[in-house]
Amino acid sequence: MREKIMSLSQATDLIKDGMLLAMGGNAMHRNPALFSLALTQKPVKELKVCGAAPGIAADILLATLQADTAYFGFFGLENEAGLAPGMRKAMEGDGPAKAMEGS
């Protein structure tokens, strides 16, 4: 059986341009934030992120413009922090990202 545990660097090396990343967690809880931060050190682009309520991990990828599309039901950082600033910056006005809100 192949080993399923890998380093953060090995995991981010698997990510290629244009991939769809299912982001776990819910808003500010149980998000793969360190994974997203590590991914910002890689030259990947045009990523798509999806989740029922993606939070800080997806927000990081939108803020760095590595993600250009988000599929979600709700996108925010809980009541305390409000709307996700990276998502908002990437999607407002003539922003380069697209919101694909589901119901």
**What's the pLDDT at 27?**
79
Q: How many domains does the chain have?
A: 1
Residue 73 inside a domain? The answer is yes
Domain assignment present for 6? no
Q: What is the pLDDT of residue 41?
A: 96
| pLDDT tens-digit profile, the chain (103 residues) | 788 899 999 999 999 999 999 988 887 888 999 999 999 999 999 999 999 888 899 999 999 999 999 999 888 887 777 788 888 889 887 778 888 876 5
Own/partner pairs for 29-37, CB < 8 Å, 24+ apart? Answer: 29/55, 31/55, 31/56, 31/57, 31/58, 32/57, 33/57, 33/60, 34/8, 35/8, 35/11, 36/60, 36/61
Tell if the pTM clears 0.75, that is, is over it: yes
Task: Tell me the residue range of the domain where 67 lies.
Answer: 17-101
36 assigned to some structural domain: yes
Structure confidence at residue 103 (pLDDT): 53
